[in-house]
Amino acid sequence: MTGLEGNFWRVGHGREIELGRRSVIMAVINVTPDSFSDGGRFETVDAAVEHALQAVDEGAGIVDIGGESTRPDAAGVSPSEEQARVLPVIEALRGRTEALISIDTYRAETARLAVSAGAHIVNDVFGLQKEPAIADLAAATGAGLCIMHTGRDRVKLADVIADQVHFLERSLAIATEAGVARDRIVLDPGFGFAKETAEENLELMARFSELSRFRLPLLAGTSRKRFLGAVTGREAEDRDAATAATSAMLRLAGAGVFRVHNVAINRDALNVADAMLNARQEFERKRPT
């Protein structure tokens, strides 16, 4: 699933989005007071909705709504608080944009309510392994699933790709047992999620193409991550240029969906990467055999 041929991610409410020919941006919409780079900026429903609509105007095909920070030292929130943050935003967006709406949660009940409110995709940062009922929900509703790898709350294997395979194969088994079709699934290797060092994240980037073994679309979520700060020396809010560089590189390595904070700069970088990939494909098509 790394070429430019058209593949469709089938998601909830009878929708789909093409992956392959052009990179797809998933905009981060944090309705939280404490997210690592934009906490407190979009806490109100109006602010979050306007931010999401601006992201769509700048080129996002998906808006990912989250009500609990997933940074390593963040305080947890109750399910009711998470739901109170995200559901009004989803309900407001449903009638104002054709962009797909994703709910960033690991809780099955929040996911159920979000899909009922209009979300098309469930983005689970614990890869179905904290609350496997999310897989049952996806199978029952047809919601799209983003299954993310994490090293949190477990002992990882030493090799970064071996650990990806070990974790994601278990996640995919949960999805298959629940009856989730493969064309509903995108995989996310989880940059920054218990990847303890910059070197570990960089190795994952360097070996990203090895994840094509799953034959599923891949999402890259490097946006403003700490390892980019280690490389550039910049604070989180100043890492958008570095993020765009990684987006372009990972596009060339096979990623099709990009979860980012700053849509505009990543759209530009990905447009260049897409153009280069199309030029390469055209050259291969015309080259004499």
Task: Please count the residues of the chain.
Answer: 289
Q: Measured on CA atoms in the order 152, 158, 164, 170, is the torsion positive or negative?
A: negative
Residue ranges with strand state E in the chain: 7-10, 16-19, 24-30, 62-66, 100-104, 121-124, 144-148, 185-188, 219-220, 257-260
Cβ-based burial of 271 (10 A; exposed 0-12, middle 13-18, buried ≥19)? middle
Q: Which of 85, 112, 195, 225 is catalytic?
A: 225
**CA–CA dist 101, 49 (Å, integer):** 11
Judged on CB neighbours under 10 Å (0-12, 13-18, 19+), 162 is: exposed
**Residue 102 CA, distance from chain mean position:** 9
What is the distance between the alpha carbons of residues 233 and 181, in angstroms, rounded to a whole number? Answer: 43
Residue 53 CA to residue 150 CA, distance in Å, equals 30
Known catalytic residue: 259? yes
Residues 6 or more apart whose CB falls under 8 angstroms from that of 69 comprise 30, 32, 34, 35, 36, 39, 75
Residue type, 85: R
Strand pairing of 144-148 and 121-124?
Answer: parallel
Of 226, 239, 251, 259, the active-site residue reads 259
15 among known catalytic residues? no
Q: What angle do CA 207, 213, 216 make, to 5 degrees?
A: 105
Catalytic residue positions?
225, 259
